[in-house]
A = this chain, B = another copy of it.
Amino acid sequence: MADLDLKNNNTISPVVNLQTLPHLTDYLQNLQTFTNPLHNNQFYHPSDHGFYISSSDVILRQILYNLAVPAPPQLDQQLAYHRAGPRQQTYFDPSCVKAAIVTCGGLCPGMNTVIRELVVGLSELYGVTQIFGVPAGYRGFYTDEHVHVQLYPKLVHNWHKKGGTVLATSRGGFNLHKIVDAIQHQGYNQVYIIGGDGTMRGAVDIYQEVVRRKLNISINGIPKTVDNDVGIIDKSFGFQTAVETAQQAINAAHVEAESAVNGIGLVKLMGRNTGHIALHATLSSRDVDCCLIPENSFYLEGEGGMFEFLGERLKKNGHAVVVVAEGAGQELIPRSAAQKEERDESGNLSFLDVGGWLKSELKHWWDRDHPGELLTVKYIDPTYMIRAVPANATDNLYCTLVAHSAIHGVMAGYTGFVSGPVNGNYAYIPLEEVAQAKNPVNTKDHKWAWVRTVTNQPDFVKG
């Protein structure tokens, strides 16, 4: 190629900064190790080269390089993570394992698949028989009335075909000492915690308290966020099912809008901090005229504003479809003093209903600027109909991989960690890191630009 005189031999020499992964041996001495029971499992071929993963197996985080630029010294760009997978030696005797599984926070497609795969994996891969479901979220650990349910493969066989969580869930209820006391009291030595960012922060606290008490208990976190707002991992389970299911709501909004005079179909989709679902649903549907996400401010009035844009769109097409992520435009909605204080049970700031507000603002604008003309705004909030469905095939497989990776890591003695895909391969990541990582939509990126070419919406940057 004319403009490139790179030679085909370039050394990129990254200094690998292997992320430290917490392990039971960090604070416990003389732990016994065991030969991985997979060694004698008829379905595996552990003698094959590459079957067992060792602590020196890593995944590079950075895989994109510009060969024309010398490797930068910033370490944070050159992280490597431990690879997920079975280890040759384990730190648990399966017959002594007592595992607890808990689901916290709102629903997300795939929760039951994760539970199912934890149960089936622990049981069939490692021969664990003492597996318990903690009902109703964090409070289920210590509230007397909630009986922990024993789980076994036959019981959970069809759970991946059900939406929601058979264990039940709740927001809040986090009480560190009661929880760790209960874990000790019940004799659990493996705890699998499925939940969102608040839940993951709680899991970090539990892990740290377990370390402080020097308990031989491994804590694993499985990020559950239908919004896909967790960083580091490629994506979270249930997200793709949610995008798929959101199409139904957008279709309905489109039909309603098209069938009306100056019809606006308004769909609110999940996404408090990030607009991933709105963005992906818009790209998949291609019937959306305007997509509003938290990462991209917008304004209603004036030149380049949403009213001007929708006015033109209605004039041209007679209808328009607007998709809004629930966290978008929060700064535009007037809040009462009380609303400024409200927080939900997980401690998240209380979100105002951007959909209801937009519907009302649209009507006011129209009545003011187009008196006597019809406007039809149909507002659809499909949240519960999206998040309560079972996982699709793609997410189901994802759930299997996450759950089995988690089990391998826990059996290998890792603790305070998360398993998840990094660049398409499964890695172990410190819980603390995941609990803090965000995953905003990059509005400078092509995907957001594509949304805008699909919608032709303005960039809402005031001139």
Contact = CB atoms under 8 A, between A and B. Distances in A.
Number of copies of chain A assembled together: 4
A16 B20 contact: no
Interface in A267-291: 280-281, 283-284, 286
Interface string A123-167: 011000000000011010000000000000000010010111110
A157 to B, nearest CB: 7
Contacts of A163: 251-252, 255
A54 interface: yes
B15 A255 contact: no
Nearest to A258: B164
Chain B CB count within 10 A is highest, among A17, A83, A157, A163, for A163
Nearest to A240: B394
Contact of A43 (B139, B246, B381, B449): B449
A348 interface: no
Interface string A17-43: 110110101100001000000000111
Interface in A215-244: 234, 240, 243-244
Nearest to A87: B3
A260 B423 contact: no
Interface stretch (A56-64, A181-189, A363-371): A56-64
A298 to B, nearest CB: 15
Interface residues of A, number: 119
Given A6-B18, A168-B258, A453-B124, A392 B244 contact: yes
A235 B25 CA distance: 39
Nearest to A172: B374
A383 to B, nearest CB: 9
A44 interface: yes
A27 to B, nearest CB: 12
Interface stretch (A65-73, A200-208, A332-340, A433-441): A65-73
Contact of A10 (B16, B396, B452): B16
Contacts of A453: 41, 43, 120, 124-125
B25 A8 contact: no
Chain B CB count within 10 A is highest, among A3, A48, A249, A251, for A3
Contact of A66 (B13, B57, B125): B57
A26 B1 contact: yes
A318 B265 CA distance: 36
A45 B393 contact: no
21 contacts: A3-B89, A4-B56, A6-B18, A11-B15, A12-B14, A12-B60, A13-B14, A57-B64, A58-B65, A63-B63, A63-B425, A64-B83, A64-B425, A164-B255, A168-B260, A168-B318, A170-B261, A255-B388, A378-B384, A382-B382, A382-B385
Going nearest first, the 10 A-B pairs with the smallest beta carbon separation are: A164-B259, A56-B68, A164-B255, A284-B393, A255-B388, A4-B55, A252-B388, A43-B452, A163-B255, A56-B67
Given A56-B67, A381-B381, 5 more contacts: A6-B55, A12-B60, A163-B251, A165-B259, A283-B400
